[in-house]
Protein backbone atom coordinates (compact mmCIF):
# COMPACT_ATOMS: atom_id res chain seq x y z
CA UNK A 1 0.00 0.00 0.00
CA UNK A 2 1.27 3.47 -0.82
CA UNK A 3 1.85 6.19 1.74
CA UNK A 4 -0.14 9.28 0.72
CA UNK A 5 -0.66 12.50 2.68
CA UNK A 6 -2.71 15.40 1.37
CA UNK A 7 -2.48 18.91 2.84
CA UNK A 8 -5.49 21.17 2.36
CA UNK A 9 -6.77 24.56 3.47
CA UNK A 10 -9.66 23.87 5.84
CA UNK A 11 -10.37 27.61 5.89
CA UNK A 12 -11.25 27.57 2.20
CA UNK A 13 -14.87 26.64 1.44
CA UNK A 14 -13.90 25.16 -1.94
CA UNK A 15 -11.17 23.02 -0.38
CA UNK A 16 -13.47 21.80 2.40
CA UNK A 17 -16.09 20.69 -0.13
CA UNK A 18 -13.57 18.98 -2.37
CA UNK A 19 -11.80 17.18 0.47
CA UNK A 20 -15.12 16.07 1.97
CA UNK A 21 -15.96 14.47 -1.37
CA UNK A 22 -12.52 12.82 -1.62
CA UNK A 23 -12.84 11.49 1.94
CA UNK A 24 -16.21 9.93 1.05
CA UNK A 25 -14.70 8.36 -2.08
CA UNK A 26 -11.64 7.10 -0.14
CA UNK A 27 -13.50 4.19 1.40
CA UNK A 28 -10.28 2.25 2.04
CA UNK A 29 -8.81 5.12 4.07
CA UNK A 30 -5.72 5.16 1.86
CA UNK A 31 -5.19 8.91 2.20
CA UNK A 32 -4.10 10.83 5.28
CA UNK A 33 -5.70 14.31 5.07
CA UNK A 34 -4.12 17.20 7.01
CA UNK A 35 -5.96 20.49 7.46
CA UNK A 36 -3.22 23.12 7.23
CA UNK A 37 -5.52 25.89 8.42
CA UNK A 38 -5.60 24.29 11.85
CA UNK A 39 -2.36 22.32 11.73
CA UNK A 40 0.54 22.77 14.09
CA UNK A 41 3.77 23.82 12.36
CA UNK A 42 5.27 20.37 13.02
CA UNK A 43 2.74 18.81 10.64
CA UNK A 44 3.80 21.07 7.76
CA UNK A 45 6.68 19.61 5.74
CA UNK A 46 7.22 22.90 3.90
CA UNK A 47 6.31 26.52 4.54
CA UNK A 48 2.67 26.78 5.61
CA UNK A 49 2.01 29.66 3.19
CA UNK A 50 3.27 27.50 0.32
CA UNK A 51 0.90 24.72 1.42
CA UNK A 52 -1.99 27.18 1.41
CA UNK A 53 -1.09 28.63 -2.01
CA UNK A 54 -1.10 25.35 -3.96
CA UNK A 55 -2.36 21.82 -3.49
CA UNK A 56 0.35 19.54 -2.02
CA UNK A 57 0.74 15.83 -1.42
CA UNK A 58 3.47 13.48 -0.30
CA UNK A 59 3.35 10.15 -2.12
CA UNK A 60 5.74 7.48 -0.86
CA UNK A 61 8.02 10.18 0.58
CA UNK A 62 8.03 12.40 -2.53
CA UNK A 63 6.51 15.89 -2.25
CA UNK A 64 4.19 16.81 -5.11
CA UNK A 65 2.48 20.09 -5.93
CA UNK A 66 -0.35 21.24 -8.16
CA UNK A 67 -1.66 18.82 -10.76
CA UNK A 68 0.85 16.14 -9.74
CA UNK A 69 -0.57 16.22 -6.20
CA UNK A 70 -4.13 15.92 -7.51
CA UNK A 71 -3.07 13.00 -9.70
CA UNK A 72 -1.56 11.21 -6.70
CA UNK A 73 -4.82 11.66 -4.78
CA UNK A 74 -6.86 10.41 -7.73
CA UNK A 75 -4.66 7.29 -8.05
CA UNK A 76 -5.56 6.38 -4.47
CA UNK A 77 -9.32 6.54 -5.10
CA UNK A 78 -10.56 3.63 -7.23
CA UNK A 79 -13.21 5.55 -9.20
CA UNK A 80 -10.68 8.30 -10.08
CA UNK A 81 -7.66 6.02 -10.50
CA UNK A 82 -7.77 5.99 -14.35
CA UNK A 83 -7.39 9.78 -14.43
CA UNK A 84 -4.53 9.62 -11.94
CA UNK A 85 -2.80 6.94 -13.98
CA UNK A 86 -3.27 8.93 -17.20
CA UNK A 87 -1.56 11.87 -15.46
CA UNK A 88 1.66 9.82 -15.31
CA UNK A 89 2.02 10.79 -18.95
CA UNK A 90 4.09 13.99 -19.13
CA UNK A 91 1.76 15.40 -21.78
CA UNK A 92 -1.39 14.76 -19.72
CA UNK A 93 0.25 16.10 -16.55
CA UNK A 94 1.36 19.27 -18.37
CA UNK A 95 -2.19 19.84 -19.60
CA UNK A 96 -3.60 19.30 -16.10
CA UNK A 97 -1.00 21.67 -14.61
CA UNK A 98 -1.88 24.36 -17.14
CA UNK A 99 -5.57 23.94 -16.27
CA UNK A 100 -4.73 24.08 -12.54
CA UNK A 101 -2.84 27.36 -13.00
CA UNK A 102 -5.89 28.88 -14.72
CA UNK A 103 -8.01 27.68 -11.81
CA UNK A 104 -5.62 29.35 -9.34
CA UNK A 105 -6.24 32.70 -11.02
CA UNK A 106 -10.02 32.45 -10.65
CA UNK A 107 -9.97 30.68 -7.27
CA UNK A 108 -10.39 33.88 -5.18
CA UNK A 109 -13.67 34.69 -6.94
CA UNK A 110 -14.89 31.13 -6.52
CA UNK A 111 -13.96 31.22 -2.84
CA UNK A 112 -15.96 34.40 -2.31
CA UNK A 113 -18.96 32.84 -4.03
CA UNK A 114 -18.65 29.67 -1.92
CA UNK A 115 -18.41 31.74 1.27
CA UNK A 116 -21.65 33.49 0.35
CA UNK A 117 -23.31 30.08 -0.07
CA UNK A 118 -22.05 29.02 3.38
CA UNK A 119 -23.94 31.87 5.11
Question: Rounded to two decimals, what is the model's pTM?
Answer: 0.90
CA distance 17 to 38: 16
What tens digit of pLDDT does each residue of 5-56 get? 999 988 889 999 999 999 999 999 999 999 888 756 556 788 888 888 899 9
Strand positions, DSSP E, the chain: 4-8, 31-35, 56-59, 62-65
Q: Where are the domains of the chain?
A: 4-118
Question: What angle do helix axes 13-25 and 90-118 make, rounded to 10 degrees?
Answer: 120
Amino acid sequence: MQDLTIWFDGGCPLCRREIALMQRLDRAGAIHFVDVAGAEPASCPIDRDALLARFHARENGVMLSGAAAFAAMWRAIPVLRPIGLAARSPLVLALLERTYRVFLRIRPRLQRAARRLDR
